[in-house]
C-alpha cells in the first residue's frame, strides 16, 4: 500500500472516479462528502491518514480553504492536497497560504495526481521519522541519567522493574539531580499504564490554594477567578501516572485531602458537592528526609505510609564509583553528536578529576560539566582545561582515600564511631544508604546514632564529626 488517502469531494461521480483510480494504484482510500464530515475523520489520530485530498469549492458552511486551515492548525503533520479548477491561480494560492501541501488542477490526470500524492506521503513519513529520531535521541539522553553498573543503582532499577506493573503508590527518594522524575517515568513506561498519560506537578512550585485546584479540580464559581469547571490532575491522569515531585513540600492543610483521595480513589473538586472517581497511579518524590519531617510534625505519618508502599532510593553519584566515568563517556558522545564535533572521549587526567570530585549536584551536574567541556574543547579528547574550575582545581584523585587521622591512637569504639559518621556524611545524611554501605541493618545504625546523639537530618549532629 502506497498510503492512506482521505478524499473530500461533494460530486459523487468525481468521488467515485478518484476512489477507483487511486485504489487501482495501490492507495487505501476513504472518502467524505463535505469538509465538516472530513474534518472529524482527518483529526481522528486512530484513522492514521497519510494525505487528505480535497476539492476547494464545496457547498455547506466550510470551504476547502477553511478545511486546509483547520487541519494545518490541528494536525500540521498531515499534508493536504487540493483540487482546483484549471487556471484558478487565486484559489490555489489561497489554499497554499492556508497550509496545503500542493494543488492539482481539474480535469484530473490520475497519473499526475498519483505522483503528487506519492510525494505527499513520502513527505509525511519522512517528517514522522525525523520526529521519531529526535524523540529517541532525547529519550536516550534522559535514560543515560539512570545508566550505570554500581550495585546501589542496580538495586534501585531492579525494584523499579519489579514494581512497574503494580498499582501501588511509590515514593522515590534521593538528592537533587539523581533522576527522581526519570525513575517515575521508568515506572510508567515499563508498566501496564504506559499507554496512558504521564502528568507531573511540583508541589513546591505553587501556593496552597492553587495547588489544591490543580490536584483536585474545581467547579465554576468555587472562588473569585473560577469562571469555568477545571478537572484536577488526579482525574486527568486517568489510566496513567501522576508524579508528585517535592512531596515533602506539600502543605499540611492538603495532606488529609490527598490521603483520603489515595485511600478512596475519589476526589472532591473545590466547591463541588459530589466526588469524582479516578484511576491513576501516584508516584511521589522528595529530596528531603520524610521520616525526619514526620518526626518533626511537618508531614502526616499515615500519608507517608500510604505513599511509601514501594520505596525507591536513588543513590548519590558519589556513591556510584566508576559510574561517573561511564556516564561521562555517554554524555561526551551525546553532546559531541549534537554539536557536530568529533570528540571521542577524555584524557586519563580528566578521569582522575571526575572521580575525585564529590558531585553535590549529582548526575545533572556531571551532565552540565560534560556539555560545557564538549562546547569549549578544541581537541578530539576532553582535557583538564576543558573542565569547570571547581572540578579542574579540586582535590587530586585518591586524596580523599589518603586522608587519615594521623598517628593518633584512639579506642576501637571511637574508630567505629568516626567510620559510621564519615559514611553518613558521604551519603548526605541518608541513613538507609549509609547502613547498606556499612553492612548494617537500619535498626542497628539508628541505635548507634542515638548513642552518638546525631539529630535527624544532621549527619554529624552533636558528635561534631569526631
Q: Which tens digits make up the pLDDT trace of 232-264?
A: 899 999 899 999 999 999 999 999 999 999 999
For 404-425, the DSSP string reads: --TT----HHHHHHHHHHHHHH
Query: How confident is residue 127, by pLDDT bands cut at 50, 70 and 90?
Result: confident
Look at residue 397 in the predicted model and tell me its pLDDT. Answer: 37
pLDDT digit string, tens, across residues 138-163: 455 455 567 788 888 999 999 999 99
Q: 164 pLDDT exceeds 80?
A: yes
Mean pLDDT across the stretch 302-329? Answer: 92
Q: 114 pLDDT exceeds 90?
A: yes
Q: 446 pLDDT exceeds 60?
A: yes
Q: Is 252 exposed, middle or buried (0-12, 13-18, 19+ CB in 10 A)?
A: exposed
Look at residue 299 in the predicted model and tell me its pLDDT. Answer: 93
| pTM of the full structure | 0.57
* Average pLDDT across the chain, whole number: 83
Q: Name every residue whose Cβ is closer than 8 Å to that of residue 241 and which is 6 or more positions away in sequence.
A: 184, 187, 188, 193, 196, 197, 198, 199, 280, 281, 282, 283
How far, CA to CA in Å, does 62 sit from each of 44, 54, 102, 220, 348?
18, 12, 20, 33, 67
How far, CA to CA in Å, does 408 sit from each of 129, 400, 418?
66, 18, 13
pLDDT digit string, tens, across residues 23-44: 999 999 988 888 888 888 887 7
Q: 343 pLDDT exceeds 80?
A: yes
Look at residue 312 in the predicted model and tell me its pLDDT. Answer: 95
How far, CA to CA in Å, does 283 sit from each of 75, 144, 169?
32, 21, 6
Q: 169 pLDDT exceeds 80?
A: yes
Mean pLDDT across the stretch 413-439? Answer: 73
pLDDT digit string, tens, across residues 354-370: 988 999 999 999 999 99
Q: Which three cell numbers stand for residue 354?
A: 571526575
- Between β-strands 266-267 and 276-277, what pairing exists: parallel, antiparallel or unpaired? antiparallel
Amino acid at each position: 500500500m502506497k498510503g492512506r488517502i482521505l478524499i473530500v469531494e461533494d460530486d459523487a461521480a468525481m468521488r467515485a472516479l478518484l476512489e477507483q483510480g487511486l485504489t487501482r494504484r495501490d492507495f487505501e482510500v476513504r472518502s467524505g462528502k463535505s469538509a465538516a464530515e472530513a474534518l472529524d475523520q482527518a483529526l481522528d489520530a486512530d484513522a492514521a491518514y497519510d494525505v487528505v485530498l480535497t476539492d476547494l469549492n464545496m457547498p455547506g458552511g466550510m470551504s476547502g480553504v477553511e478545511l486546509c486551515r483547520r487541519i494545518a492548525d490541528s494536525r500540521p503533520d498531515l499534508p493536504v492536497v487540493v483540487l482546483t479548477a484549471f487556471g484558478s491561480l487565486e484559489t490555489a494560492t489561497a489554499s497554499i497560504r492556508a497550509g496545503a501541501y500542493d494543488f492539482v488542477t481539474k480535469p484530473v490526470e490520475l497519473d499526475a495526481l498519483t505522483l503528487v500524492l506519492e510525494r505527499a506521503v513520502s513527505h509525511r513519513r519522512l517528517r514522522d521519522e525525523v520526529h521519531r529520531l529526535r524523540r529517541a535521541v532525547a529519550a536516550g539522553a534522559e535514560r543515560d541519567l539512570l545508566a550505570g553498573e554500581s550495585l546501589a543503582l542496580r538495586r534501585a532499577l531492579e525494584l523499579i522493574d519489579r514494581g512497574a506493573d503494580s498499582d501501588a503508590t511509590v515514593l522515590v527518594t534521593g538528592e537533587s539531580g539523581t533522576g527522581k522524575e526519570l525513575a517515575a517515568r521508568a515506572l510508567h513506561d515499563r508498566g501496564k499504564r504506559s499507554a496512558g498519560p504521564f502528568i507531573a506537578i511540583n508541589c513546591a512550585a505553587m501556593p496552597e490554594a492553587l495547588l489544591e485546584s490543580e490536584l483536585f479540580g474545581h467547579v465554576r464559581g468555587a472562588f473569585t477567578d473560577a469562571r469555568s469547571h477545571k478537572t484536577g490532575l488526579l482525574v486527568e491522569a486517568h489510566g496513567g501516572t501522576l508524579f508528585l515531585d517535592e512531596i515533602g513540600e506539600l502543605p499540611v492543610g492538603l495532606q488529609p485531602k490527598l490521603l483520603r483521595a489515595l485511600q478512596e480513589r475519589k476526589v472532591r473538586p473545590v466547591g463541588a458537592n459530589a466526588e469524582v472517581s479516578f484511576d491513576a497511579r501516584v508516584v511521589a518524590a522528595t529530596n528531603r528526609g520524610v521520616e525526619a519531617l514526620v518526626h518533626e510534625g511537618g508531614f502526616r505519618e499515615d500519608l507517608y505510609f500510604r505513599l511509601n508502599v514501594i520505596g525507591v532510593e536513588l543513590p548519590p553519584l558519589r556513591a556510584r564509583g566508576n559510574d561517573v566515568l561511564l556516564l561521562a563517556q555517554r554524555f561526551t558522545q551525546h553532546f559531541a553528536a549534537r554539536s557536530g564535533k568529533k570528540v571521542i572521549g577524555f584524557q586519563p587526567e580528566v578521569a582522575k578529576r571526575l572521580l575525585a570530585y564529590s558531585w553535590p549536584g549529582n548526575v545533572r551536574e556531571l551532565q552540565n560539566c560534560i556539555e560545557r567541556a564538549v562546547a569549549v574543547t578544541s581537541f578530539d579528547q576532553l582535557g583538564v582545561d576543558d573542565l569547570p574550575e571547581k572540578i579542574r582545581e579540586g582535590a587530586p584523585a585518591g586524596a580523599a582515600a589518603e586522608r587519615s587521622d594521623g598517628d593518633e591512637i584512639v579506642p576501637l569504639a571511637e574508630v567505629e564511631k568516626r567510620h559510621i559518621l564519615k559514611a553518613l556524611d558521604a551519603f548526605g545524611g541518608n541513613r538507609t544508604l549509609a547502613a547498606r554501605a556499612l553492612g548494617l541493618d537500619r535498626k542497628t545504625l539508628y541505635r548507634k546514632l542515638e548513642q552518638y546523639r546525631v539529630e535527624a537530618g544532621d549527619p554529624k549532629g552533636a558528635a561534631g564529626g569526631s
